[in-house]
Amino acid sequence: MEKYKILFVCMGNICRSPAAEAVVRSLAEKAGLSRFLEVDSAGTHAHDEGGRADSRMRKAAAKRAYDLDGLRCRRLSKEDFLRFDQILAMDRQNLDYLRDMCPPGLHDKLRLFIDFAAETGEEEIPDPYYGSAEGFERVLDLCEAAGKGLIDAVAALLVDGPRY
């Protein structure tokens, strides 16, 4: 079976999207789905391409046993729209960017990651970059909530049959 491929996208690929990638990778492993699921992250602007995730996010993630050290920032590419089954934005600004860049006929792959955690009452996963350490913890809380919903949705797809 071909892997189901999910891409997480924020602006710089240094805080939110690498956190989402690490959280979902961990949740997939715990759920026994890692062999069916491929996750990656990218940034719409990714000015630090090739660099590591923000040190504050790496520190917050490490406290929860998520390893971001091996992840490297990269910029979203046109090929990503063809390669991935779902492309999940962290906020509306990045979702709008994805919609503008997305080739015709592929817009159904795009949505907000937080949509998988309606119970949080949040509409976006906020950018913690200019805030305090608590902002990075909040991002991880939201990624964990949305990640659980996403893993449930992927598990249902695998049980219910073809994705297309």
Q: 80: pLDDT confidence band, cut at 50, 70 and 90?
A: very high
Residue 160's pLDDT is 61
Q: Kindly report the average pLDDT of the chain as a whole number.
A: 94
CATH of the domain at 58: 3.40.50.2300
Instruction: Please pick, among 10, 15, 73, 143, the residue that the annotation labels catalytic.
Output: 10
The structural domain count of the chain equals 1
The distance of Cα 80 from the centroid of its chain, to the nearest Å, equals 13
Residue 1's pLDDT is 62
- β pairing state of 4-10 and 86-89: parallel
Contacts of 142 (CB under 8 A, 6+ apart): 114, 117, 120, 122, 125
Distance CA 142, CA 100 (A): 26
User: Is 16 considered catalytic here?
Assistant: yes
β-bridge partners, 34: none
Residue 158's pLDDT is 80
Q: What is the pTM of this model?
A: 0.94
Residue 15's pLDDT is 96
Instruction: Report pLDDT digits (tens) over 82-120.
Output: 999 999 999 999 999 999 999 999 999 999 999 999 999
Q: Give the mean pLDDT of 53-62.
A: 96
Q: Range of 120's domain?
A: 4-160
Q: 162: pLDDT confidence band, cut at 50, 70 and 90?
A: very low
Q: Give the mean pLDDT of 1-28.
A: 95
Residue 11's pLDDT is 96
Distance CA 76, CA 87 (A): 10
Residue 47's pLDDT is 79
User: Is 127 considered catalytic here?
Assistant: yes
Residue 98's pLDDT is 98
Instruction: Please pick, among 15, 58, 127, 143, the residue that the annotation labels catalytic.
Output: 127
Q: Give the mean pLDDT of 31-52.
A: 91
**% residues pLDDT > 90 (the chain):** 88
The distance of Cα 19 from the centroid of its chain, to the nearest Å, equals 7
Instruction: Please pick, among 15, 16, 80, 143, the residue that the annotation labels catalytic.
Output: 16
Distance CA 97, CA 111 (A): 12
Residue 114's pLDDT is 98
